[in-house]
């Protein structure tokens, strides 16, 4: 395991931003095909191009030694990766010893079988992507998903003691009529809700302009019924939280288009093939897999500093301004949410 170097206890990018949060995509595969995220027919990476769980664990060790104190496991759908529990437990050993939090984003379909494992490994809260509670609409958005499996996963996660935040992508003409009911449902279930603007990543076969819904408009609609009070709460990611009058549920807003949040970005992302992307909206990356397989961790360490220097000031997402091409060729499932 890499040992921490006291002279480099923190990672700072070229703009002086402290980088403390690593999102690791453990697989590009998913058991759903959400319309805003993936194409209906996806071509996934061959096994030899994907990092092994041991390689992911070694890189996580190195990043914790370099100052990362929060890790989120993502995908694709992370819980479809075979033996994912081994990786969660391995990274979880850093909790309380350099790592403050290990968490996970999931679509919930496999959660019933993994909730106890996550809790036992030290995961205390998770994000569950859920864009509709209506079975038929859920099946439409996900191209065939079974919402009953998600509800079973949520029940198992709560029974295991995991705090849950629902992530809902706001989609005009698809689920905009469900946003306030979703918030009220989350409040009744003891969950938080974060709304997300759709992002132009990868070709999905859908016209995102048709379904783009600015969260400034959504927030105004909610305020007409419930006062919103900004909160100082932060969980390490881009969401800005609000208290909702009459509710205990917090409302988070992630607004990559209407309100750029890059000035205080603290995140980098590692794909399942070992590429470090410093920004979700840029193609620039550093290849850790080749370095690791050819030269071990010693060859990877200097690449961290290179990645930090390459981190851009901001993303440049645009929808509905004459832009028809996605901001990147990568699907969200490749980089991880």
Annotated binding-site residue? 186:
no
Annotated binding-site residue? 142:
no
Token readout for 73 is 């496991």
Annotated binding-site residue? 267:
yes
Closest CA to 198 of 185, 184, 181, 215: 215
Annotated binding-site residue? 76:
yes
Annotated binding-site residue? 30:
yes
Annotated binding-site residue? 165:
yes
Annotated binding-site residue? 241:
no
Annotated binding-site residue? 23:
yes
Annotated binding-site residue? 271:
no
Annotated binding-site residue? 34:
yes
Strands lying side by side in the sheet with 163-170? 228-230, 240-244, 250-254, 192-197, 163-170, 125-129, 101-106, 70-74, 21-25, 267-270, 275-277, 285-287
Annotated binding-site residue? 129:
yes
Do strands 240-244 and 228-230 pair parallel, antiparallel, or not at all (unpaired)? Answer: antiparallel
Q: Are 121 and 92 in contact (CB under 8 A)?
A: yes
Q: How many CB atoms lie within 10 A of CB 297?
A: 16
Annotated binding-site residue? 240:
no
Closest CA to 110 of 81, 133, 89: 81
Annotated binding-site residue? 98:
no
DSSP state letter for 59: H
Rounded CA-CA distance 72/270 in Å is: 10
CA distances from 154 to 87, 140, 145 (A): 22, 20, 15
Q: Are 239 and 194 in contact (CB under 8 A)?
A: yes
CA dihedral (159, 160, 163, 165) positive or negative: negative
Rounded CA-CA distance 294/310 in Å is: 23
Q: Across-strand partners of 307?
A: none
List, as residue ranges, the binding site for GTP: 23, 72, 105, 165, 267-269
List, as residue ranges, the binding site for [4Fe-4S] cluster: 30, 34, 37, 262, 265, 279
List, as residue ranges, the binding site: 23, 30, 34, 36-37, 72, 76, 105, 129, 165, 199, 262, 265, 267-269, 279
List, as residue ranges, the binding site for S-adenosyl-L-methionine: 36, 76, 129, 199
């Amino acid at each position: 395991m890499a040992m921490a170097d006291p002279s480099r206890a923190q990672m700072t990018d070229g703009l002086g931003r402290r980088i403390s949060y690593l999102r690791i995509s453990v697989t590009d595969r998913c058991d759903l095909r959400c319309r805003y995220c993936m194409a209906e027919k996806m071509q996934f990476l061959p096994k030899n191009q994907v990092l092994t769980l041991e390689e992911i664990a070694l890189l996580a060790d190195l990043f914790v030694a370099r100052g990362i104190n929060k890790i989120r496991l993502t995908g694709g759908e992370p819980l479809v990766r075979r033996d994912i529990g081994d990786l969660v437990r391995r990274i979880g050993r850093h909790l309380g010893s350099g790592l403050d939090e290990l968490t996970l984003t999931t679509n919930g379909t496999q959660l019933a079988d993994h909730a106890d494992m996550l809790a036992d490994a030290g995961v205390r809260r998770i994000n569950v992507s859920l864009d509709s509670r209506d079975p038929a609409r859920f099946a439409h958005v996900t191209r065939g998903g079974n919402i009953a499996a998600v509800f079973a996963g949520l029940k198992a996660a709560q029974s295991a003691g995991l705090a849950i935040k629902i992530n809902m992508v706001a989609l005009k003409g698809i689920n905009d009529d469900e946003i306030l009911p979703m918030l009220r449902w989350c409040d009744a279930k003891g969950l938080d809700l974060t709304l997300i603007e759709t992002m132009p990543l990868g070709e999905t076969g859908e016209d995102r302009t048709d379904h783009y819904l600015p969260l400034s408009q959504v927030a105004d609609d909610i305020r007409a019924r419930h006062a919103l009070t900004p909160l100082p709460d932060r969980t390490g990611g881009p969401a800005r939280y609000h208290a909702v009058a009459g509710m205990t549920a917090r409302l988070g807003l992630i607004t990559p288009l209407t309100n750029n949040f890059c000035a205080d970005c603290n995140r980098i992302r590692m794909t399942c093939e070992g590429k470090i992307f410093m920004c979700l909206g840029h193609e620039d990356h550093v290849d850790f897999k080749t370095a690791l397989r050819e030269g071990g961790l010693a060859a990877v360490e200097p690449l961290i500093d290179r990645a930090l220097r390459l981190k851009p000031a901001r993303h440049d997402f645009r929808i509905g301004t004459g832009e028809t091409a996605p901001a990147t060729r990568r699907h969200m499932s490749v980089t991880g949410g």
